[in-house]
Amino acid sequence: MQNDQKNLILAMALSLMVIVGWNYFFAKPKVDQARQTTSQLQQLGGKPADPNAPQPETAAVAPVVPTVSRADALAASPRIVIDTKNLSGSLALKGSRLDDLSLKAYRETIDPNSPNIVLLSPSGAQDGYFVDLNYVAPQGVALDLPKADTVWKADGQRLTETTPVTLTYDNGKGLVIKRKISVDEFYMFTVADTVENKGKDAVNFFSNATITRQGEPATSGYAVLHEGFIGVIGADQASTEVTYAQIAKETNKAKVLPVDSYAVGGWLGFTDKYWATAIVPDPARGYKGWFRMFPGFKPQYQTDAFGEQRTLAPGESATLSTRVFAGAKESRVLSYYQNEQGVSKFDMLIDWGWFHFITRPMFWLLETLFALVGNFGVAILLITLIVKILFFPLANKSYASMAKMKIIQPKMKEIQEKYADDKQRQQQEMMNLYRTEKVNPVAGCLPVLLQIPVFFSLYKVLFVAIEMRHAPFFGWIHDLSAPDPTNVFNLFGLINYDPTTLPVFGHLLHLGIWPLIMGVSMWVQMKMNPEPTDPVQKTMFAWMPVIFTFMLGSFPAGLVIYWTWNNLLSVAQQGLIMKRSGAKIELFDNIVGKKK
């Protein structure tokens, strides 16, 4: 029974190490193996696809776009300035393209003078990333429609939250398009097109909203986070997630979602760790969602919302409305669009993971506490305290059982020595001892077990929530979502050298002050527990604080602070219970040797 107890504790500890170590040792996995989306590519109900609609497998391969400077690419088109509370940039009149957008509230580093995050860039620039709202004629039909090089006429020079702009296109043959573009105080653009047929013949066309990324997008590469194509293709559907590697494996480099029908409602686009772009089609109109890749020297990735065919008789007009999200994945903003603006399941842009039922409440609690104390680090400390209070009765029983185990440890060793050659008798005597002393050897496992879901959910929140990005604590911790910036291997900055840049083993050399404090707190807690009698287990438990110290060295500082504070609270609680139970705490003796 004693071995069973130790094996159970060891198994849970190793399970926790697997959770912690998965992303540590496999931080750059092959992302094409990260998610399976076959079950998500199911057919949707609706109208049959139009046989005249252009299909992705027949689309021409995009040409290689030469890379020019961002300034030169911006200068290639007359522009309308975009200036809102959260956004700055410009809209290209050539092609009516949204291709220049920066986020005012977010910077590249914690330095307040560092550049703002640039989200969208024009075609041909480094990492071109832009949004087009086009029209396509049926196959084999000649119709003059605006193209990528068409210069639209504008009625204003500045787009703000209170001043929309209207662009006009006239093909000179009776087709006139008036495009009213507005933007809200957050990150959502609304494009309302009025298409009028002043000609003598009927006009047939498809709407096609696209988001394009030129070149291989940079990703963090963690299996715990999806980055790439994402969408809810149909308001009642689950989210579909496709990585860049997965789309590259497709036979024709395209996924048509749904396979052969039009969807109604939902959205689709690209997601990065903290930022996203998404097309939100008119919820009253059907569309097909395409995820595409055009291979080449500079691959191009594209997501399309291809609308149903529209027919305008002479003298008729039609209004088409499309929304475009381009900004930061702030939870409250996404919830606003979902709950107040009717964008179905828009909060799925944030990858809360399979255990979202734990992660989301954790994030909510963090935000609530942050609103009270004004510091996410302090909020983490308070969450740890709240969890300790909630599980106080269970933990008390666990620590009381561990205290009793420590008291009867001499008797246990005596039984092991007496029946060293008779394991069956040894187990029987151990069980009799537990029964006599009223000790539950497994109860001590609960403190470790209870930490696992809290640890995982907090790690996920620190990793994916933009609200945690660049959130300061105190002292040298200026970003709780980043590792402790200090490092013992360069004498905490005294040596101008970054040991983490070393090949192969560099990632093991990220060891700052907080991970060291955490390691010491864990070692103290381990020393207060009954010492394993099995030599192998004793060695593993002795090395566990060292292993965790190195493993957590490169993890977000907020997670290390949580773990340290949890250890200190556990030590205080366990020490008090052991003192009341009469168990001897030999921590000092374990350091300097027993006094005679």
- Position 94 scores a pLDDT of 95
> Facing residues of 195 across strands?
177, 318
Residue 329 pLDDT more than 50?
yes
The values of phi and psi at residue 560, to 5°, are -65, -40
Beta strand pairing call for 266-271 and 300-312: unpaired
Cβ neighbours of 328 (radius 10 Å) = 20
Q: How confident is the model at residue 134 (pLDDT cuts 50, 70, 90)?
A: very high
**Higher per-residue confidence, 481 vs 433:** 481
Burial class (CB in 10 A: 0-12, 13-18, 19+), 235: middle
CA dist., res. 513 & res. 522, Å (int)? 14
Residue 594 pLDDT more than 50?
no
- Position 505 scores a pLDDT of 66
- Position 441 scores a pLDDT of 65
Cβ–Cβ under 8 Å, residues 85 and 185: yes
Task: Supply the mean pLDDT for the chain.
Answer: 81
Q: How confident is the model at residue 47 (pLDDT cuts 50, 70, 90)?
A: very low
- Position 409 scores a pLDDT of 75
- Position 581 scores a pLDDT of 64
CA dist., res. 563 & res. 455, Å (int)? 8
CA dist., res. 547 & res. 568, Å (int)? 19
Lowest mean per-residue pLDDT among 19-33, 486-500, 509-523, 546-560: 19-33
- Position 275 scores a pLDDT of 96
Q: Which domains does the chain have, with CATH numbers?
A: 2-23+360-592 (no CATH), 126-351 (2.70.98.90)
Cβ–Cβ under 8 Å, residues 523 and 512: no
Q: DSSP 3-state assignment of 466?
A: helix
CA dist., res. 117 & res. 102, Å (int)? 6
Cβ–Cβ under 8 Å, residues 484 and 515: yes
Angle between helices 376-390 and 356-373 (to 10 degrees): 120
* Helix, strand, coil percentages in the chain from 3-state DSSP, rounded to 5: 40, 25, 35
| Cα-based distances in Å from 452 to 34, 95, 552, 559, 569 | 22, 52, 15, 12, 16
Q: DSSP 3-state assignment of 63?
A: coil
DSSP H helices, 240-302, are: 244-249
How large is the average pLDDT for residues 409-418?
Answer: 78
In this structure, what DSSP letter does residue 60 have?
P
User: Among 134, 135, 123, which residue's Cα sits nearest to residue 92?
Assistant: 123
How large is the average pLDDT for residues 141-165?
Answer: 93
Residue 40 pLDDT more than 70?
no
- Position 588 scores a pLDDT of 44
Give one DSSP letter per residue of 542-587, joined into a string: HHHHHHHHHHGGGS-HHHHHHHHHHHHHHHHHHHHHHHHHT----H
How large is the average pLDDT for residues 259-287?
Answer: 90
The values of phi and psi at residue 203, to 5°, are -120, 130
Encoded amino acid at 576, one letter: L
Cβ–Cβ under 8 Å, residues 553 and 510: yes
**Higher per-residue confidence, 596 vs 89:** 89
How large is the average pLDDT for residues 562-580?
Answer: 82
How large is the average pLDDT for residues 379-390?
Answer: 89
For residue 16, the surrounding DSSP H or E stretch is helix 2-25
Highest mean pLDDT out of 103-112, 353-362, 390-399, 435-444: 103-112
CA dist., res. 86 & res. 307, Å (int)? 30
Residue 61 pLDDT more than 50?
no
Cβ–Cβ under 8 Å, residues 320 and 216: no
Could you tell me the two tokens for 328?
A: 């930061």
Encoded amino acid at 482, one letter: A
How large is the average pLDDT for residues 211-235?
Answer: 87
**Higher per-residue confidence, 423 vs 133:** 133
Beta strand pairing call for 97-107 and 87-92: antiparallel
User: Among 168, 181, 170, 209, which residue's Cα sits nearest to residue 90?
Assistant: 181
- Position 83 scores a pLDDT of 97
How large is the average pLDDT for residues 86-99?
Answer: 96
Q: How confident is the model at residue 545 (pLDDT cuts 50, 70, 90)?
A: confident
Dihedral (C-alpha) 491, 492, 497, 499: value to the nearest 10 degrees? Answer: 90
Q: How confident is the model at residue 196 (pLDDT cuts 50, 70, 90)?
A: very high
pLDDT digits (tens, 9 = 90+) for 339-379: 999 999 999 999 988 888 888 999 999 999 999 999 999 99
Cβ–Cβ under 8 Å, residues 398 and 444: yes
- In percent, the amount of the chain with pLDDT more than 90 equals 42
**Residues of 134-151 as b/e, b for ≥16 C-beta within 10 angstroms?**
bbbbeeeeeeebbeeeee
Cβ–Cβ under 8 Å, residues 91 and 158: no
Cβ–Cβ under 8 Å, residues 499 and 487: yes
